[in-house]
Amino acid sequence: MTSEAAKIKKIVICTGGGDAPGLNAVIRAATLAALNRNWEVYGIRDGYNGLLMPEQYLEGGLLRLTRDRVRGITHLGGTIIGTTNRGNPLRFPVKKLDGTVEEVDRTDELLRAFLLHQIDALISVGGDGSMEIAHALAKKGLWVVGVPKTIDNDLDGTVITFGFDTAVSFATECLDRLHTTAASHQRVLVVEVMGRYAGWIALESGVSGSADVILIPEIPYDIKKVAQKIRERDELGRNFSIVMVAEGAKPLGGDVSVVSREVGRAERLGGAGERVAHDLQEQTGKETRLVVLGHLLRGGTPTTFDRLIAQRFGAAAVRALEQDQRGVMVALDPPTVKYIPLEEATQRMKTVPLDCDIMLTARDLGTSFGD
Ligand code: F6P
């Protein structure tokens, strides 16, 4: 243990952004690893809200994490300390007297709260938004270690984020179920999955679940080409088709389908599947049904893979603190974990490389990407 780490008495864990299966496994692993070093551990409630708006919590904005509190949670979805994808402290939405909303930087306030509670270090578990906040706090002097979470798998610098495998496994199981009903009714089944501006969930579950068409944000699609693929299948006697659509998929020359835009939060995507289903029914005349998997992908029991990497990440975050590592994110670099600067992790979004092996595999199998 380094001299700085020897001074650690109290750390906090924050879970931010959309929840993902494996968050509780990280919380338990980090808590046990810290308690075993005789550090006190607290969870900030609902992202940073527990520190920025403590008055909203009857029992206070910090939840003491004890062995009892983290017992039996590894397999549970969600997060026992809560999360939010609103109220980013870098761009906190504040309503002005004239009714308009403006974004305010509340990180200094947050730093004061860390001082007030005598918190030595923060483990921030989240996606790109959370890592951006963690990086900003680290630049202002806070001792921070990040842990990469998101079902979208769009964080750069780590081979994978936890939560992704569970989401892909569930989507694949759904495709298996949809195949039989699609075949029985000779229908086109359009399945929309989350993933924001990256096509990882659609691609990996689409290939694993034998989708005939996979539409991802990285490749703007031509609906005529998709319709053509469905007609070709019909001619071969395969008179049903499964079309996997990433929520960020967009037509050639068109834009992503957005449900809402609000100050202080990322735009909400939705409607991509509906657009494809509508256009395909028009183009092919075939009966078409839409299934939007949405938040189902974020719930449920984490897979063994996610439980394991989540625990490895949680324990590695504590080891990073013990080694006096600051402003870094834990990353998976098989067969081990490594630490990369938060700056590196936040530089760009990890999208699907069009020449990657999974893409080549799908193309070799005849899967259409609508291009
Ligand atoms: O980033 C995770 C994610 O589930 C995305 O795939 C999706 O676009 C977004 O969060 C949905 O957010 P919300 O929980 O606000 O609906």
Q: What is the pLDDT of residue 212?
A: 98
- The residue contributing the CA closest to ligand 1 atom 13 is 18
Q: What is the pLDDT of residue 248?
A: 98
**Annotated active-site residue in 152, 156, 165, 279:** 152
Nearest one of 91, 160, 79 to 132, comparing CA atoms: 91
- Where does ligand 1 bind, in terms of residues with CB under 6 Å? 18, 85, 127, 150-152, 194-196, 247, 268-269, 298
Active site residue 234: no
Residue 316 is which amino acid?
A
- Are 182 and 341 in contact by the 8 Å Cβ rule? The answer is no
Ligand 1 atom closest to the CA of 196, numbered from 1: 8
Tokens of 236: 């071969």
Q: What is the pLDDT of residue 266?
A: 82
Condensed to tens digits (0 to 9), the pLDDT of residues 235-245 reads 999 999 999 99
Residue 129 Cα to ligand 1 midpoint, Å, equals 12
- The residue contributing the CA closest to ligand 1 atom 16 is 268
- The residue contributing the CA closest to ligand 1 atom 8 is 196
Tokens of 259: 């449900």
Q: At what angle do helices 304-322 and 23-35 cross, to 10 degrees?
A: 40
Q: How far is CA 194 from the centre of its chain?
A: 9
Domains observed in the chain = 5-162+302-334 (3.40.50.450), 166-298+353-364 (3.40.50.460)
Condensed to tens digits (0 to 9), the pLDDT of residues 350-371 reads 999 999 999 999 999 999 999 9
Phi, psi (rounded to 5 degrees) for 149: -125, 135
Residue 20 Cα to ligand 1 midpoint, Å, equals 10
> Distance between CA atoms of 141 and 306, rounded to whole angstroms?
31
Sites in the chain below the pLDDT cut of 50: none
> Distance between CA atoms of 42 and 31, rounded to whole angstroms?
8
Q: Which of 23, 298, 350, 351 to mutate to test the pocket of ligand 1 (most atoms within 8 A of CB)?
A: 298
Q: Which of 85, 128, 166, 168 to mutate to test the pocket of ligand 1 (most atoms within 8 A of CB)?
A: 85
Residue 105 Cα to ligand 1 midpoint, Å, equals 23
Residue 163 Cα to ligand 1 midpoint, Å, equals 12
Residue 156 is which amino acid?
D
- Are 34 and 98 in contact by the 8 Å Cβ rule? The answer is no
- The residue contributing the CA closest to ligand 1 atom 1 is 18
Q: DSSP 3-state assignment of 49?
A: helix
Q: What is the pLDDT of residue 195?
A: 98
Q: Which residues contact 284 (CB under 8 A, 6 or more apart)?
A: 188, 227, 230, 231
- DSSP for residue 61: S
Q: Give the angle 289-290-291 at the CA atoms, nearest 5°.
A: 130
Residue 183 Cα to ligand 1 midpoint, Å, equals 31
Pairing of β 188-193 and β 121-126: unpaired
Residue 311 is which amino acid?
Q
- The residue contributing the CA closest to ligand 1 atom 2 is 18
Beta bridge partners of 213: 243, 368
- The residue contributing the CA closest to ligand 1 atom 12 is 18
